[in-house]
Amino acid sequence: MLTLNYSRVTGLSTVIAALTFSHSTLEAQTVSGTIDASITLEDACSVDGEEGAAVDFGSLAFGTHSALFDQADAQVAGAGGISVLCSPGVVPTFTLLGGLYDNQASPAVHAMQDTAATALVGYTLYTDATRADALAINDTITLSAFANTPQTIELYGRAFGDPGNLPAGTYEDTLNVELSW
């Protein structure tokens, strides 16, 4: 009988050991690792909050005047100028490439043609409010290196009338400009 008890004890011990061993192998396991994250940023600039290959640099609206006007002044993009924001360290260059009717209305650099295509009103862009520093075709304006605030390109225009020689109508031109960095 002693042998039988010994077998029961041994058998019971084996079962307890197996349950203990099985329990320890069923515990939760942990695996550690990493996730790599990356982004590549390229230098960029925006004009009046717009990015892309073709943005609106504003307008030069001389308003409504008598066909007998002598001169009319305006500022590109209204009173605020052209707002440029670039990546830190970028030094952009603004270039006036030209218009549709350049050098066709003396003494101006550019010209606006009336919708009937019979007359031209000359105009010139300037880099100063006194309109002393004319901006010629292919002239550039270099901005300062950007830190973290927008910079403004202020351009002023003057249209030159020809009293008694200009028909009433709407006159228009399109200037091509470029911002490079």
> In the predicted model, what is the mean pLDDT of residues 119-123?
97
pLDDT at 112: 98
Question: CA triplet 155, 156, 162: central angle to 5 degrees?
Answer: 145
36-87 per-position pLDDT tens digit: 999 999 999 999 999 988 899 999 999 999 999 999 999 998 778 999 999 9
pLDDT at 80: 84
pTM: 0.79
pLDDT at 58: 93
CA 17 to chain centre: 72
Report the share of the chain in percent with pLDDT over 90. Answer: 79
Distances in Å between the alpha carbon of 143 and those of 33, 78, 140? 47, 20, 10
Query: How far is 19 from 51, CA to CA, in rounded Å?
Result: 68
pLDDT at 79: 73
pLDDT at 105: 94
Confidence of residue 14 (pLDDT cuts 50, 70, 90): low
| Closest C-alpha to 151, from 10, 48, 39 | 48
Distances in Å between the alpha carbon of 41 and those of 38, 80, 134, 146, 151? 10, 29, 37, 16, 21
> In the predicted model, what is the mean pLDDT of residues 112-126?
96
CA 111 to chain centre: 28
Q: Which two tokens stand for residue 126?
A: 């300037």
Burial string for 40-49 (b: 16+ CB within 10 Å, else e) reads eeeeebbbbe
pLDDT at 142: 98
